């Protein structure tokens, strides 16, 4: 999330977590959405970097963060099913 700043990263994290929650049909709180969004943004940035996808600004960061958060929730669901 280059160029959005600390506060922007938090806002994008909350939005990405909320969008991922809606996409995956889950029900979490604000803090969980923030954590899922921020961790998802790291995961999304890693995957985007490995695929050679360049992103920047608010929109690009939100898209990549949301995709990473959806991937995180999907993987978490797989882990919870096995346990």
- Burial of residue 72, with CB atoms counted within 10 A of its CB: 0-12 exposed, 13-18 middle, 19 or more buried: buried
Q: How many CB atoms lie within 10 A of CB 39?
A: 18
Q: Which helix (H) or strand (E) holds 40?
A: helix 30-51
* pTM, 2 dp: 0.86
Tokens of residue 62, six digits: 């939100």
- pLDDT digit string, tens, across residues 33-72: 889 988 998 898 889 889 998 887 889 889 999 999 999 9
Q: Where are the domains of the chain?
A: 5-82
Name the phi and psi angles at 56, rounded to 5.
Answer: -170, 165
- pLDDT tens-digit readout, 21-39: 999 998 888 888 889 988 9
């Amino acid at each position: 999330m280059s160029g959005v700043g600390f506060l922007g990263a938090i806002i994008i994290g909350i939005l990405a977590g909320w969008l991922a929650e809606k996409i995956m049909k889950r029900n979490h709180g604000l803090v969980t959405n923030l954590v899922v969004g921020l961790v998802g943004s790291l995961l999304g940035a890693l995957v985007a970097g490995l695929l050679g996808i360049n992103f920047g600004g608010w929109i690009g960061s939100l898209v990549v963060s949301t995709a990473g958060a959806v991937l995180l929730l999907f993987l978490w669901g797989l882990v919870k099913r096995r346990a």
